[in-house]
Structure 1
Amino acid sequence: MSDLTVERRVTANDAVPSAAVTTVDQQAFRDAMAKLSAAVNIVTTDGPAGKAGFTASAVSSVSDTPGTLLVCLNRGSSVYPTFQANEHLCVNTLAAHHEALSSLFGSRSSTEERFAATEWDVLHTGSPVLQDALVAFDCRVEEVVSAATHDIFICRVLAIKQGQSTDGLVYFSRGYHAVRG
């Protein structure tokens, strides 16, 4: 047994004293996040506001009932207004051989250059689906939550396309890495 005694249990309803709230240095946070492996995705949309796409690692499953994902997008991004207005998107999870495509969609290249670099299909929403994606999730945006500099798009999955590749692409320690399936 430990010599530690608990004087008072803290519950979720207890207020946290403001002196206990701290912030971390931005660079320290970025350095720490570099240690978090994440799948690499190209998120796309096409609709009344136009076509757009960007590279993202801030994508996560929310629920399987119903199939729901979240996608984070900086409100200052040049593609933000297009995604906000179109209200649907496709999360294209990249295979190991997509490193150059990921870099292109993460650059300041034009929309035309980005989409001309490879072949695309469409599923339910009309958002571009990468033909050789590891997997693609075609989604309708159901809710948007603002947090700090980003909006979190809560997305209902309407269609899924499984690719042929079994090797994924992750971003870790500020670099791309293949994950063998």
Structure 2
Amino acid sequence: MSFTQDGSPAPVEFDGADALKRAFREHPAGISLITAQTPEGPVGLTASSVASVGIDPPALSFSVTRATGSAGGILGADSYLVHLLDNRHADIAQLFAVSGSERFTDDQGWEYLETGEPFLRDTRVALRCRTLHSLGVGSSVIVVAEVLGAHFGSSSAPMVYHDRVFHSLPWNENNLG
């Protein structure tokens, strides 16, 4: 490690993808689970890129790394659910973050909405969405989705992804609404 004249550590510089990965590894992000029904069955993935875009129309955005597998199923679906997760869902967030893990089992608490999307019971909110726009950026796709409606449940302590680990944040249910 090198030091500046005043004795403090000198900044370390990284380029390109390594710089971006390091920067966002230390930037906490909310965790979402995006699910859809496809002709081959239900698909889902964990996302830390969900963000509010605007209210006219009500829209959110997210990105996926590639347009195959679960991401491809979501991108091809007429509609999907964006579940905003809290600390009760760290295990399922981890399962859906790893390809090939067991998903949509009865003991995980899945139901299906009348519109067909897989719905995780006991989530704070699941936003029903449809794609308005998508933009390919290298091997990733950025999606802007219209929010068609929401299914609200009970709340619990927020959860963020920071430095490759899911963390629970302090929470006071008296601060709601």
- TM-score, reference length from structure 1: 0.78
Partners of 2:45 and 2:71 within 8 A in 1: no
Aligned to 1:131: 121
SS, match of residue 79 in structure 1? helix
Asked if 1:96 is matched to 2:74, the reply is: no
SS, match of residue 104 in structure 2? helix
Question: RMSD over aligned Cα, in angstroms?
Answer: 2.0
Asked if 1:141 is matched to 2:131, the reply is: yes
Q: Report the residue type matching 1:115 in the other structure.
A: F
Q: State the distance in 2 between where 1:81 and 1:40 align.
A: 20
Structure 1 segments, 4+ long, off by >4 Å, are none
2:33 to 39, 42, 48: 42
Q: State the distance in 2 between where 1:71 and 1:125 align.
A: 22
Q: Report the residue type matching 2:75 in the other structure.
A: Q
Aligned to 1:161: 151
Q: Report the residue type matching 1:67 in the other structure.
A: P
CA distance 1:146–1:92, shift in 2 (3 Å): same
Partners of 2:32 and 2:82 within 8 A in 1: yes
Q: State the distance in 2 between where 1:73 and 1:164 align.
A: 28
Aligned to 2:103: 114
Q: Unmatched 5+ residue regions in structure 2? A: 1-13, 172-177
| Bigger-Rg structure (1/2) | 1
CA distance 1:30–1:77, shift in 2 (3 Å): farther
Partners of 2:88 and 2:156 within 8 A in 1: no
Aligned to 1:174: 164
Q: Unmatched 5+ residue regions in structure 1? A: 1-22
Deviation at 1:105, TM superposition (A): 0.5
1:31 to 18, 22, 35: 22
1:81 to 55, 58, 72: 72
Q: Between the two proteins, what is the percent identity of the paired residues?
A: 29
- Map Cα deviations across residues 120-150 of structure 1 (whole Å, 9 max, x no partner): 2344642212111121111111221112321
SS, match of residue 92 in structure 2? helix
Aligned residue pair count: 157
Deviation at 1:177, TM superposition (A): 0.9
Asked if 1:151 is matched to 2:151, the reply is: no
Deviation at 1:28, TM superposition (A): 2.2
SS, match of residue 108 in structure 2? coil
Q: State the distance in 2 between where 1:149 and 1:109 align.
A: 20
